Amino acid sequence: SIFGLVSETDFISKTSEIGVILLMFVAGLDTDVNEIKKNSVSYMVIATAGVIIPLIGGGLTYFFYFNVNPGDFDEMLKAIFIGVILTATSVSITVEALREMGKLKGKVGSAILGAAVIDDIMGILVLTIITSLKDTSVSIYMVFAKIAMYALLMAILYVALTGMEKLYTKLESERRNSVYAFAFVMIIAFVSEEVFGVADITGAYLLGLFLSKMKIKKSIAKKMAIPSYLFFSPIFFASIGIKTELSGMTVSLLIFSVLILLVAILTKVIGCGIGAKLCGYNKLESLNIGVGMISRGEVALIIAQKGYAIGLLDPKLFSPVVLMVVVTTIVAPVILKHTMKNDNEIQNKSGRKAISIS
């Protein structure tokens, strides 16, 4: 831990893993699929640019700063993984800032929410490929074959769950739904990781996504949120704190921390901003969308935890990643309020000009 007072135990490690799985399952349940469908093309373009630019930026930062040998496969994977962490977006605090300003349901607010959902899905997809490539005994073709088989299994699962929805409704067993869901998400997470080599959080998120459009979603989400947020999730965040070793922060790591923070902010603003501009948003709207996607939050921490566990993230780099997540989460709503204020002032000025002309 930061002060060296607490060390990670097996109980904390295992419980935090359950916390991660439940966090991603609840995130899947809370996903508004209908919102994505409305402006799917625009949100897809914004999210894609917001994934590709940070992925490249993060990877290149690690590559050049640590002078990675291109022939070293493991080090190249670690470089790419830094980029994968930067692809994450967590807009929970941004949403609160938009709500306070009355902009949540507006053009910019809807774009941030819609793109963030697709961003998460794409980020998890990239994470799946990278974690699968970690096993060097398996060829690249086998990796993609496994992912294709996994996608087929998930498609079958979705069809099966949709077909069985009427049965769930007839049973009217709301008390048991959450118990069944908990058991099922653990099974899916286990099968994803152990059978297909896909991150367990991918399976958890997809299952939540499949259930998000069903009538039983509300009862499951309500009951799953209580143990998740009151017990499992706090232990997960505590385990993150325990892994954070500021005592080992050398000058070199401090410089890397500043670099990765700047890259994290700039690549999201540039990537999502360019994506928004391509979709017809004006300059200020594009800037606001980019700023709204800066925050990495718990999603980046979950990805970092996964990389730490399987050796894709060096222990010495865990602290810089945590610092990046904390700072981006704090500054995102502050910058957004400032840029939104400027946007309002420009709109008011143009409105007054239009009135004076008429």
* pLDDT, one tens digit for every residue, the chain (358 residues): 555 566 667 778 788 888 878 877 887 787 777 766 777 899 999 999 999 999 999 999 999 999 999 999 899 999 999 999 999 887 766 776 777 777 766 788 888 878 887 887 788 788 878 887 876 666 677 777 888 888 899 999 988 888 777 666 665 556 677 788 889 999 999 998 888 877 787 788 888 888 888 877 877 887 777 787 788 878 877 777 776 666 667 899 999 999 999 999 999 999 999 999 999 999 999 999 999 999 887 778 888 988 888 889 998 898 899 899 888 988 888 899 888 876 665 555 555 554 455 4
The two tokens of residue 116 are 């963030």
For the chain, how are helix, strand and coil distributed in percent, rounded to 5? 80, 0, 20
Which residue, 47, 39, 35, is CA-closest to 293? 47
Number of Cβ atoms within 10 Å of the Cβ of 139: 9
Calculate the CA dihedral of residues 197, 199, 205, 210 and round it to 10 degrees. Answer: -10
CA distance 182 to 10: 21
Q: pLDDT at position 272, please? A: 96
Please count the residues of the chain: 358
Q: pLDDT at position 169, please? A: 60
Q: pLDDT at position 173, please? A: 58
CA distance 88 to 300: 5
223 neighbors 176 (Cβ within 8 angstroms): no
Domains belonging to the chain, first-starting first, are 12-238+249-357 (1.20.1530.20)
CA 145 to chain CA centroid, Å, is 25
Q: pLDDT at position 143, please? A: 73
Q: How many angstroms separate the Cα of 79 from the Cα of each of 1, 52, 86, 108, 126?
A: 25, 14, 11, 32, 13
- The model carries a pTM of 0.73
Q: pLDDT at position 354, please? A: 45
Q: How many angstroms separate the Cα of 261 from the Cα of each of 61, 64, 257, 267, 268?
A: 11, 16, 6, 10, 11
Helices marked H in 102-250: 107-133, 140-163, 165-171, 174-194, 200-211, 217-227, 233-243
294 neighbors 270 (Cβ within 8 angstroms): no
Q: pLDDT at position 347, please? A: 56
281 neighbors 289 (Cβ within 8 angstroms): yes
Which residue, 173, 201, 244, 213, is CA-closest to 17? 201
The two tokens of residue 247 are 């005592």
Q: How many angstroms separate the Cα of 285 from the Cα of each of 16, 65, 120, 277?
A: 38, 34, 21, 8
Side-chain-facing half-sphere of 191: CA atoms under 13 Å: 17
CA distance 220 to 353: 53
The two tokens of residue 295 are 């925050």
| Distance spanning both ends of the chain, measured CA to CA | 65
